[in-house]
């Protein structure tokens, strides 16, 4: 079964290819859309991605020990990117992270998220 985002039905939607098949790459004017994203006036459809939540009071310090990015001081509502590393320091996964003050939400490739409905750890 192939994933198709409901946003593909929006006027001007141009479907992405490769791992992003099923969501819009843009809506007819990618340069203007990129500028609007940079200004904080637009959103990106990431509905085809997986989400892993990490909860608990030590979630950020724990993720900090596993990642390439310092996230221990990530403020609620702020986001960052990180690479999750093996014990040898090799890249195992790349993710986007946002913390809400109670849980860290990692946005990953769909195949990297647990098959459980919540995708939760912790």
Q: What is the Cα–Cα distance from 56 to 17, expressed in whole angstroms?
A: 37
Q: What is the Cα–Cα distance from 33 to 29, expressed in whole angstroms?
A: 6
* β-pairing verdict for 79-85 and 14-15: unpaired
pLDDT < 50 positions in the chain = 1, 119-120, 122
Write the pLDDT tens digit of every residue in 60-83: 999 998 888 899 999 999 999 999
Contacts of 1-5 with CB under 8 Å at 24 or more apart are 3/47, 3/48, 3/110, 5/45, 5/47, 5/48
User: What is the domain partition of the chain in residue ranges?
Assistant: 6-39, 50-121
For 77, the token pair is 């509502």
pLDDT at residue number 117: 56
* Predicted TM-score (pTM) above 0.75: yes
May I ask the CATH architecture of the domain 50-121? Answer: 2-Layer Sandwich (3.30)
């Amino acid at each position: 079964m192939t994933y198709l985002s409901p946003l593909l039905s929006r006027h001007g939607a141009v479907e992405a290819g490769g791992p992003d098949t099923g969501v819009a790459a843009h809506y007819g004017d990618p340069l203007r859309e990129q500028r609007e994203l940079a200004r904080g006036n637009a959103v990106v459809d990431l509905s085809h991605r997986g989400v892993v939540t990490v909860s608990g009071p030590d979630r950020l310090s724990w993720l900090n020990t596993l990642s390439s990015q310092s996230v221990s001081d990530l403020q609620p509502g702020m986001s960052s990117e990180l690479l999750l590393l093996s014990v040898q320091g090799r890249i195992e996964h790349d993710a986007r992270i946002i913390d809400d003050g109670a849980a860290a939400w990692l946005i990953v490739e769909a195949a990297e998220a647990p098959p459980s409905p919540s995708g939760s750890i912790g």
